[in-house]
Amino acid sequence: MFKNLPSSFAIMAAFFAALGTLFFIIGAHTFYRNCQFAGNIERIEGIVTSHYITVSHGRHGSSTNYHLGYRFRDTGENMYVSNTTVTSTTYYEVTLHGSIPVKYLPKFPTINRIDLPAEDSNYTTMAWASMLLGGLFGGCGWYSFIELERLIFYRRWLRKFGVRRAGSVDSIEINTSMQINHRNPHYLLYSYTDATGKKQRDSSVYLSEKQEGRWSEGDSIDVYYDPRDPSKSTVILDR
């Protein structure tokens, strides 16, 4: 699956692994907060201090975000102010300077939420969605990163400990099923003869645009094959 990919793709895999891990952490943290608010909490009436809508325009259309600011006093008469993004249901249920139900953790009043069913449902949905996205992106990203790193170290090992042979470029192939930088990637099919005299064939990683112009069918190419398995090899593409 990753055999023809260049080493630079490991950076992309690492990005998706980090992004997935971040989503998973956000989801797990939201789920943890949901569990906290399902336990011992304090409920009180707060006051809406701000009430506005923002619209974000993107490549795939626009999205509307609903914002509320509110303040409340805990049982010790300490004032707390919060700002949050809410669902449209909650937004249209309240008015500026009107009352709003709030719940908070008794020992940590700074950890608080609007106490309405729509918000509880929204936090639950956010937790599961973030964890699922994190699992998908993180799982694929980490698997790809580990596999690419394994290939990178293996290619380096072949260049250091592999058996060097003069090979020949049999053909230049194009992967029509994918694009990199708006072009279909090219790679070399090459052949070489191992120490037993048996002819082996293998393929290179994808060529850069500069490398594409340097190779033609029939060119000689330096091959390093694995002495433990002569069918596995790597080549030097820069010359």
Range of the domain at 20: 11-133
Residue 86 contacts residue 66 (beta carbons within 8 Å): yes
What is the C-alpha separation between 184 and 191, in angstroms, rounded? 23
- Residue 108, pLDDT above cutoff 90: yes
What is the C-alpha separation between 127 and 157, in angstroms, rounded? 43
Residue 196 contacts residue 225 (beta carbons within 8 Å): no
Q: Which among 75, 137, 162 is positioned nearest to 112, based on CA atoms?
A: 75
Residue 179 maps to a domain: yes
Lowest mean pLDDT among 20-24, 66-70, 213-217: 213-217
Average pLDDT over residues 134-161: 94
Question: The domain spanning residue 185 has which CATH number?
Answer: 2.40.50
Residue 144 maps to a domain: no
> Strand order in 229-235's β-sheet?
199-203, 186-193, 163-174, 220-226, 229-235
Average pLDDT over residues 218-227: 96
Residue 37 maps to a domain: yes
SS3 category, 150: helix
- Residue 231, pLDDT above cutoff 90: yes
Residues 18 and 100 in one domain: yes
Residues 119 and 192 in one domain: no
Residues 112 and 170 in one domain: no
- Residue 225, pLDDT above cutoff 90: yes
pLDDT for residue 61: 80
Q: How many domains does the chain have?
A: 2
Residues 124 and 207 in one domain: no
Lowest mean pLDDT among 54-68, 105-119, 197-211, 218-232: 54-68
Residues 31 and 126 in one domain: yes
Average pLDDT over residues 104-125: 94
